Amino acid sequence: MTWDGSLAISALQAAYASGTTTPTEVARAVHERLTAYAALDPAVWIDVVPLEALLARAAELEEAYEGRDKPALFGVPMSVKNSIDVAGFKTTLACPDFAYVPEKTAPAVERALEAGALLVGTTNLDQFATGLVGHRSPYGTPRCVYDREYISGGSSSGSAVSVGAKLVSFSIGTDTAGSTRVPASFNGLVGLKPTLYSISAVGLVPACKLADCVTVLATSVDDARQVYDVLRGYDPDDSLARPYEKIVAGLVPWREEGVRFATPPEELLGVLSAPYAKLYKQAVDRLERGGLQRAEGFSYEPAEEANNMLYGSSIVAQRLVAFDDYLTTHGTSTMHPVVASIFSASSGFSAVRAYQDLFLLASQKRRVELEFEKADVLVVPSTVTHWKVAEVDEDPLGRNKVLGSFTHFVNLVDLCAISVPAGTWTNDSGNEMPFGLTFVAPAGRDAEIMRLAERFAEMQ
């Protein structure tokens, strides 16, 4: 028996247990795939671990665990979004002038490495993690794995492509306003945006510190769960960290049957493209046939109001705080022009306005909490359509903004979410393109939305 080449975590675990393959063989295969794929899409990576170093790491794992129980991610290849520190690799945020080489690896990445993961490289992103298109980087535009005329989505663009192209088993990404859920949807992946601050954000260069979240992109819910179980943990050095166990302890478990779900109102769903509208309706019908119940009286209004705040309030000024030193030295002159315009529009808010917006957002968060007394889960399209690269060029800001129609509010009001594949549509080139559905629930419901996502996949 030989290894079939699958990078699914459970498949690798079985192959290692049976002796069908070794981390060294997987490392060689992954490096060959990476090299071949670079000819098709050279914009996926910012830094790649040299083959010699990758093989050395594989050999180290083999020696360390010879005849011993293997750790959870033993020999599992991964990538890391290049806004998260990895010691010895430059952290760029897709801006060469900003780049630095950290001395320490981010705790989230370190946890994966301690669990035996094989780091393959760091991935491209929308510059300064600003964007949902994956088309704002001087390192190039990673393309959708299903059709390279189309965007991959952002800002975790390279992360999504590295998983979707089967170059790695999973990627550690980030999500502030949809930066994992959108690219997961576009590339047929599972994108887990877990409970805020349940994974350490130390070593993550913030885009919007109060809403940034370390995430997982994988090919299955089970893989995402296994990685999340490794990454999750209270970090006392993270000023925003909170013990996940305490959050979960205060929750009443969902009933086995009759889970109640809510959806956005019909008038908001009008923004969906025709294929997406059809697939979303089919997904909702599937949930009802699968035994879920429509929630009664759920109001989407506070979520929609929070969604509109991201780019219409002082909340965006957080990015000016994160990059104050860089902006003082460089200004916006060397930024990607679209990103520069966004940074410029983020300034000019008064302290009074900032507090007004914080108080308003707190009110919306409480209103959302009350609405979730009427529903267990909110079910939304992961995004509204899939643009070609050329279409984004026609209207970079407008077409980026619309992609977040059902994503921006999630972190702002402290919810967890998971995007999963939910059907396909055929584009004008005849290619089957994926559609993503997102399950959204209150903080601490990560395990339940993952179980629901798996149940959804089994529904007819």
pLDDT value of position 1: 65
pLDDT at 316: 84
Question: How much is the average pLDDT of 435-458?
Answer: 98
Return the SS3 of 458: helix
C-beta separation of 89 from 105 below 8 A: no
Q: Which CATH superfamily is domain 9-245 in?
A: Amidase signature (AS) domain (3.90.1300.10)
Q: Where in the chain is the domain with CATH 3.90.1300.10?
A: 9-245, 259-414
Predicted local confidence at residue 255, as pLDDT: 84
For 416-429, what is the mean pLDDT? 98
Give the Cα separation of 294 and 375 in Å (integer).
Answer: 8
Q: Which residue matches tokens 């050279």?
A: 42
Apex 45 CA angle, 39 and 47, nearest 5: 120
Q: Which residues are catalytic?
A: 81, 155, 179
**Do the Cβ atoms of 151 and 135 come closer than 8 Å?**
yes
Closest CA to 386 of 173, 145, 169: 145
Whole-number pLDDT of residue 346: 86
Report the percentage of the chain scoring pLDDT > 90: 93
Interatomic CA distance for residues 7 and 20, integer angstroms: 13
pLDDT at 283: 98
CA distance 219 to 217: 7
- The CA radius of gyration of the chain, in Å to the nearest whole number, is 21
Instruction: Say yes or no to pLDDT of 359 above 70.
Output: yes
Per-position DSSP letters for 110-143, written without gaps between them? HHHHHTT-EEEEEE--SGGG--SSS---TT---B
pLDDT tens digits, 12-42: 999 999 999 999 999 999 999 999 999 999 9
Q: What is the mean pLDDT of residues 136-140?
A: 98
> Among 57-61, 184-188, 258-262, 346-350, which is the least confidently predicted range?
346-350
Q: At the topology level of CATH, where does 259-414 sit?
A: Amidase signature (AS) enzymes (3.90.1300)
pLDDT in tens, 220-277: 999 999 999 999 999 999 999 999 999 999 899 998 788 999 999 999 999 999 999 9
Average pLDDT estimate for 179-196: 98
- What is the per-residue pLDDT for 111? 98
- In 10 A of CB 415, how many CB atoms? 24
Query: What is the C-alpha to C-alpha distance for residues 88 and 140, in angstroms, rounded to an integer?
Result: 23
Q: How confident is the model at residue 2 (pLDDT cuts 50, 70, 90)?
A: confident
Question: Could you give phi then psi for residue 200, rounded to 5 degrees?
Answer: -60, 135
Q: Quick one: pLDDT at residue 313?
A: 86
Give the Å distances, CA to CA, from 189 to 152, 186, 214, 359.
11, 8, 16, 36
Q: Which residues are within 8 A (CB) of 318 and not within 5 positions of it... i.e. 6 or more apart?
A: 206, 207, 208, 209, 210, 211
Length of the chain, please? 460
What does DSSP say about strands 432-442 and 190-193: parallel, antiparallel, or unpaired? Answer: unpaired
Rounded CA-CA distance 134/231 in Å is: 25
What confidence category does residue 322 fall into, taking pLDDT thresholds of 50, 70 and 90?
Answer: confident
Greatest pairwise CA separation for the chain in angstroms: 68
Q: pLDDT by residue (tens digit) across 330-353?
A: 999 889 999 999 888 888 899 999
In degrees to the nearest 10, what's the CA dihedral of 111, 112, 114, 117? -170
| DSSP string for 244-261 | HHHHHHTSPPPPSS--EE
Report the percentage of the chain scoring pLDDT > 70.
100
**Exposed (0-12), middle (13-18) or buried (19+): which is 66, by Cβ within 10 Å?**
exposed
Question: Measured on CA atoms in the order 275, 281, 282, 283, is the torsion positive or negative?
Answer: positive
Q: How far apart are CA 313 and CA 378, in angstroms?
A: 25
CA distance linking residue 138 with residue 410, whole number of Å: 29
| CB contact set of 65 (below 8 Å; sequence gap of 6+) | 71, 74, 116
What rounded mean pLDDT belongs to the chain? Answer: 96
Mean local confidence (pLDDT), 432-452 = 98
Q: What is the pTM of this model?
A: 0.97
